[in-house]
C-alpha cells in the first residue's frame, strides 16, 4: 500500500522505447528506466524499488525523505543537467518545512494536495442521522460500508474513493471546508465522503490505490522522457 506505481496510457502507434524518470519534490532524480512500448499496448506500469520513506511520503509520520537522498543504490544526480532539472534550494527548504508539519497545518497541506486532483461528489451517513437528505452509507454502492454482495454485477466506478471521519463543514482544513456545499443541510453530522476526479484532470492523471499519480502519454515515433513526481499517501480507499 505504501509503494508507488507509475502507470502510462498510450495512444495507437508504432513500437517505441520510452525513458521514464521519477523526480521527487526537491528535483532529486529518484529512478530512471527504459520501457519498450509495443504497438498494441494501451497501458504500461512499473513499480520501481524505491527506498522509503518517499518525500513527502506518508504524511502521518515526521520525516524528510530517504537517508542521504538515496532512493536506490544507484545515483542519478548526473542526469539533472541532461534533463535540465535544476536543484532548487527553495524546493529543499519547502520540503523540510512540510516534513515538520503537524496537527491542523499538516491536515491543510495534505488536503491541498488531495484537492488538486479530487473534488467532493457525494456524502453519506455512517450511523443514524436526523438529516433528511443524507442517505445511509450501507445503501450507497460507492461506500466502503456497502454490503457489496458477490452476486451483484454492475459497472465499476474506478474514479471514486471514499474517505471516512469528516465532520460536516466544521472541519478546519481547506479540503474539509470544500465539502460545505454537500454538507450544508446536515451541519455537524459525520459521514463518509465520495471524491470524484475532476474530468479535466482525469484526462491527464489517473489516481489509483494510495494516490500514485499516473500520466496519460501520447505515443510518438522516437524516444521520449516522461517525468513522474511522487505525491504523499492519503488514508483513502479506492472503490473498484
pLDDT of the residue at 80:
62
Task: Report the C-alpha gap between 76 and 131 in whole angstroms.
Answer: 55
pLDDT of the residue at 129:
76
136 DSSP assignment: B
Grid cell 542519478 is found at 76
Pairing of strands 225-229, 6-10: unpaired
Q: Is the pLDDT of residue 62 over 50?
A: no
* 193 touches 123 (CB < 8 A): yes
Number of other CB atoms surrounding residue 63 within 10 Å: 16
- Per-residue pLDDT of 158-167, as tens digits, reads 555 455 444 3
Q: Do 93 and 162 reside in the same domain of the chain? A: no
Q: Do 182 and 222 reside in the same domain of the chain? A: no
pLDDT of the residue at 5:
82
135 DSSP assignment: P
* 236 touches 211 (CB < 8 A): yes
Q: Do 103 and 146 reside in the same domain of the chain? A: no
Q: Is the pLDDT of residue 13 over 80?
A: yes
Q: Do 40 and 145 reside in the same domain of the chain? A: no
Q: Do 143 and 235 reside in the same domain of the chain? A: no
Kindly give, in sequence order, each residue whose CB lies less than 8 Å from that of residue 82, ignoring residues fewer than 6 positions away: none
Pairing of strands 16-23, 225-229: parallel
pLDDT of the residue at 150:
62
Q: Going edge to edge, which strands form the sheet with 225-229?
A: 29-37, 16-23, 225-229
Task: Report the C-alpha gap between 86 and 116 in whole angstroms.
Answer: 24
Looking at the 3D structure of the chain, how many domains does it have? 2
pLDDT of the residue at 179:
56
Q: Is the pLDDT of residue 102 over 50?
A: yes
pLDDT of the residue at 53:
75
Q: Do 8 and 88 reside in the same domain of the chain? A: yes
Q: Do 40 and 99 reside in the same domain of the chain? A: yes
* Band of residue 209 on the pLDDT scale cut at 50, 70, 90: very low
Q: Do 176 and 233 reside in the same domain of the chain? A: no
Number of other CB atoms surrounding residue 209 within 10 Å: 14
pLDDT of the residue at 3:
72
Q: Do 92 and 126 reside in the same domain of the chain? A: no
Q: Do 52 and 99 reside in the same domain of the chain? A: yes
Q: Which domain holds residue 237?
A: 1-116+203-240
Q: Is the pLDDT of residue 182 over 80?
A: no
Q: Do 109 and 132 reside in the same domain of the chain? A: no
Q: Do 177 and 73 reside in the same domain of the chain? A: no
Amino acid at each position: 500500500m505504501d509503494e508507488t506505481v507509475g502507470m502510462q496510457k498510450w495512444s495507437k502507434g508504432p513500437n517505441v522505447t520510452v525513458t521514464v524518470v521519477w523526480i521527487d519534490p526537491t528535483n532529486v532524480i529518484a529512478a530512471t528506466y527504459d520501457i519498450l512500448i509495443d504497438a498494441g499496448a494501451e497501458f504500461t506500469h512499473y513499480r520501481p524499488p524505491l527506498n522509503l520513506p518517499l518525500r513527502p511520503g506518508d504524511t502521518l509520520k515526521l520525516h524528510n525523505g530517504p537517508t542521504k537522498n538515496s532512493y536506490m543504490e544507484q545515483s542519478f544526480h548526473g542526469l539533472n543537467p541532461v534533463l535540465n532539472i535544476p536543484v532548487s534550494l527553495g524546493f529543499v527548504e519547502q520540503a523540510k518545512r512540510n516534513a515538520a508539519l503537524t496537527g491542523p497545518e499538516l491536515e491543510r497541506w495534505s488536503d491541498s494536495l488531495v484537492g488538486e486532483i479530487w473534488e467532493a461528489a457525494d456524502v453519506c451517513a455512517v450511523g443514524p442521522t436526523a438529516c433528511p437528505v443524507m442517505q445511509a452509507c450501507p445503501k450507497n454502492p460507492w461506500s466502503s460500508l456497502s454490503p457489496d454482495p458477490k452476486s451483484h454485477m454492475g459497472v465499476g466506478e474506478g474514479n471514486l474513493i471514499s474517505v471516512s471521519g469528516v465532520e460536516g463543514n466544521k472541519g478546519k482544513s481547506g479540503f474539509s471546508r470544500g465539502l460545505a456545499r454537500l454538507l450544508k443541510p446536515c451541519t455537524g453530522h459525520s459521514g463518509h465522503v465520495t471524491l470524484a476526479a475532476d474530468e479535466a484532470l482525469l484526462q491527464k492523471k489517473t489516481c489509483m490505490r494510495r494516490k500514485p499519480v499516473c500520466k496519460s502519454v501520447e505515443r510518438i515515433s522516437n524516444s521520449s522522457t516522461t517525468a513522474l513526481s511522487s505525491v504523499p499517501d492519503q488514508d483513502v480507499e479506492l472503490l473498484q
